Amino acid sequence: MIVVRCGIILTISFMIVYNQISVVKCYDHDTREGILMSELLEIIKGRKSVRTFDGRQLTEEDREKLERYTETITNPFGIPVQFVFLDAEEYRLSSPVISGEKLYVAGKVEKKPYADVAFGYSFEKLVLYAWALGVGTTWIGGTMKREQFEEAAKLAEGEMMPCVSPLGYPANKRSFRETMMRKGVGADTRMPADKLFFSGSWDEPVTAAMQEKNRELIEMVRWAPSAVNRQPWRIIADGNRYHFYEKQDKGYMSDKTGDLQKVDVGIALCHFMAGLEEKGENEEIEINNPGITVPAGVEYIATAVVRC
């Protein structure tokens, strides 16, 4: 069994204090008061993939904040993710779905079990932090010339680069292509909570009372981004334990990317743990399969434990 202290550095309070915008009360660890869950929820629900940028370079200040922030990012799996900032023009980088971008960030991780989950967890911290700064991103795992990005990021033997993202300021209006893409994957919708959250066993959808009690946490997970908006995470709640599973679809796994749907589960875990932290809970992640019967094609990933 692996137990890892969560230690999410990215909380909305941190983001705002870091940016010296004092609109959020910080969490008081002694009184357990002053949490504004709604602010984190707002960031998570408000974030959208940005594929149409306004053509401006990032300001030096924003770029420096982002670069500095990446140096602080950790994940509960203890697998470091390295971030590389890449000038689009210098390295001739582009994506057929992105326009007006000047900068990309690529993430690299050593190939090993849980590397994809850890990657999702860490990269999403950057995505949320960027959004809080007013900087748009889009997770890109497919729509790019991968070799060009890997070469620019100096990917080494034994490493993988599951995704990259553009970084820039959103244009006033989305391109027609972006609008059509969003429609195609239903990007503005998510599955209802009772299709994602279960109570004690796979067959028992979460009760209305439990949904009400954990409303914000559930919303944070629901609104996580995922490849082709498939939302492959499933969560079985059992007392103070939340077991995260991956409901696998075909076509998301390769040697170059790892399993992109495990990256998605890592993103969902990041949102859930950030929400718990905002609530002032004492939370950690363990990898300890509870042995609950699940259908074929569903794989246990990790458990979020809320300690009293």
49 belongs to the binding site for ligand FMN (CB under 6 A): yes
Among 199, 229, 248, 254, binds ligand FMN (CB under 6 A): 229
Q: Is the torsion defined by CA of 60, 64, 257, 132 positive or negative?
A: negative
Q: Taking CB positions, which residue lies at the least distance from ligand FMN?
A: 225
Smallest separation, CB 193 to ligand FMN (Å):
17
What is the x/- site pattern for ligand FMN, positions 120-139, by CB under 6 A?
A: ------------------xx
What is the x/- site pattern for ligand FMN, positions 254-283, by CB under 6 A?
A: ------x--xx--x----------------
Are 242 and 227 in contact, with CB atoms under 8 Å apart? no
Q: What b-and-e string marks burial along 236-257, b requiring 16 or more CB atoms within 10 Å of the CB?
A: bbeeeebbbbbbbeeebeeeeb
- Could you give the dihedral angle defined by the CA atoms of residues 201, 205, 207 and 213, in that order, rounded to the nearest 10 degrees? 80
185 belongs to the binding site for ligand FMN (CB under 6 A): yes
Q: Could you say which residues in the range 82-121 bind ligand FMN, by CB under 6 A? A: 97
143 belongs to the binding site for ligand FMN (CB under 6 A): yes
Smallest separation, CB 289 to ligand FMN (Å):
24
253 belongs to the binding site for ligand FMN (CB under 6 A): no
Tokens 């990269």 sit at which residue?
Answer: 123
Among 19, 26, 45, 48, binds ligand FMN (CB under 6 A): 48
187 belongs to the binding site for ligand FMN (CB under 6 A): yes
> Quick one: 35 or 105, whose CB is closer to ligand FMN?
105
Are 44 and 223 in contact, with CB atoms under 8 Å apart? yes
> Quick one: 221 or 237, whose CB is closer to ligand FMN?
221
Smallest separation, CB 236 to ligand FMN (Å):
22
Q: Is the torsion defined by CA of 19, 59, 73, 230 positive or negative?
A: positive
Among 107, 136, 141, 168, binds ligand FMN (CB under 6 A): 141
225 belongs to the binding site for ligand FMN (CB under 6 A): yes
233 belongs to the binding site for ligand FMN (CB under 6 A): no
> Quick one: 171 or 237, whose CB is closer to ligand FMN?
171
Among 8, 135, 152, 227, binds ligand FMN (CB under 6 A): 227
140 belongs to the binding site for ligand FMN (CB under 6 A): yes
| Residues lying near ligand FMN in the complex (CB under 6 A) | 48-49, 97, 138-143, 163, 181, 185, 187, 225-229, 260, 263-264, 267
